[in-house]
C-alpha cells in the first residue's frame, strides 16, 4: 500500500516537472541569442522527471540507460546546431 502511494506521488511530481519544463520552453522567444542552449537546459528538468517516473514504474535499467544517454543526446543536438548555424 505504501509503495503504491509513493509511486503515485513520484509520478505526480514528475508530471508537474514536465509541465513546468513545457512552460519554460514556451516562455523563451526565438529572437534571443543562443536560445537553443536555454531550451536544452530547461529540457533537463523533463529528463529528470522521466527518470523519476521510470524509477517509480519499476524500470531501473531503463532509467539508468536514459540517465546515461540523455546528456550525450542533448550535447549532440546543441553541437550540431552550433556548427550548422554559420552555413
- At 70-84, the pLDDT tens digits run 888 888 888 887 788
Domain edges within the chain: 2-84
- At 5-63, the pLDDT tens digits run 988 888 888 888 888 878 877 877 777 677 777 778 778 778 888 888 888 888 899 99
pLDDT of residue 85: 65
B/e letters for 16-51, b = 16+ CB within 10 Å, e = fewer, are: ebbeebeebbeeeeeeeeeebeebbebbebbbbbbb
- Is the full-model pTM beyond 0.75? no
Residue 64 has pLDDT above 90, yes or no: yes
Contact 16, 50 (CB under 8 A): no
Contact 29, 35 (CB under 8 A): yes
To which residue does cell 540517465 refer?
Answer: 67
Amino acid at each position: 500500500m505504501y509503495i503504491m502511494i509513493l509511486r503515485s506521488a513520484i509520478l505526480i511530481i514528475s508530471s508537474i516537472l514536465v509541465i513546468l519544463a513545457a512552460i519554460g520552453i514556451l516562455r523563451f522567444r526565438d529572437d534571443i541569442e543562443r536560445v537553443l542552449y536555454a531550451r536544452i537546459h530547461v529540457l533537463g528538468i523533463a529528463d529528470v522527471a522521466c527518470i523519476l517516473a521510470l524509477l517509480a514504474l519499476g524500470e531501473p535499467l531503463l532509467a539508468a540507460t536514459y540517465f546515461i544517454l540523455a546528456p550525450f543526446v542533448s550535447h549532440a543536438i546543441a553541437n550540431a546546431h552550433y556548427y550548422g548555424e554559420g552555413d
